[in-house]
Amino acid sequence: MTRRRAKLRTPGGFTLIEVLVALAIVAVTLIAGLRASATLTRSTERQSSRVLAQLCAENALVQVRLTRQLPDVGDNTRDCSQAGRTLELRLLVQATPNPNFRRVEARVAEEGSPLLQLSTVVGRY
């Protein structure tokens, strides 16, 4: 009869503590997944901003080259619209030791946050 009572008293399911530990493990896993997806989303957004900034900078530098004139030394800031977003483009023209060349630097920012900087040397045609 003692063996029979022992079999009746053994639980057949999970205890409350086991269920809570399993839920905690699932919660931690889900939080890690959410953080990873948020990081991936931010990275993708940053990458698209950099591509648009590169388009602005390259277009500005090509435009300087296509004028076929030596650009004046100075600083020029203007807006650049790409894909419905307005980026700030700053062209900085500096003299070089050789008077036949100028260094042209294109800096692109969005809302004051720098995105990209490209430089080239333009010569007298």
Q: Tens digits of per-residue pLDDT, 20-79?
A: 999 999 999 999 999 999 999 999 888 999 999 999 999 999 999 998 889 999 999 999
Predicted confidence at residue 57, as pLDDT, reads 95
Q: How many CB atoms lie within 10 A of CB 108?
A: 24
pLDDT of residue 27: 97
Confidence bin at 7 (pLDDT 50/70/90)? low
Give buried/exposed letters for 62-100 (b at 16+ CB in 10 A, else e).
Answer: eebeeeeebbeeeeeeeebebeeeebbbbbbbeeeeeee
Per-residue pLDDT, 112: 87
d(CA 33, CA 6): 44
Q: Report which residue type is found at 28.
A: V
pTM of the model as a whole: 0.70
Q: Where are the alpha helices (DSSP H) in 67-113?
A: none
CATH of domain 15-123: 3.30.1300.30
What are the boundaries of each domain within the chain? 15-123
pLDDT class of 124 with cuts at 50, 70, 90: confident
What average pLDDT is seen over the chain?
89
Q: How are beta strands 101-110 and 74-82 bridged, if at all?
A: unpaired
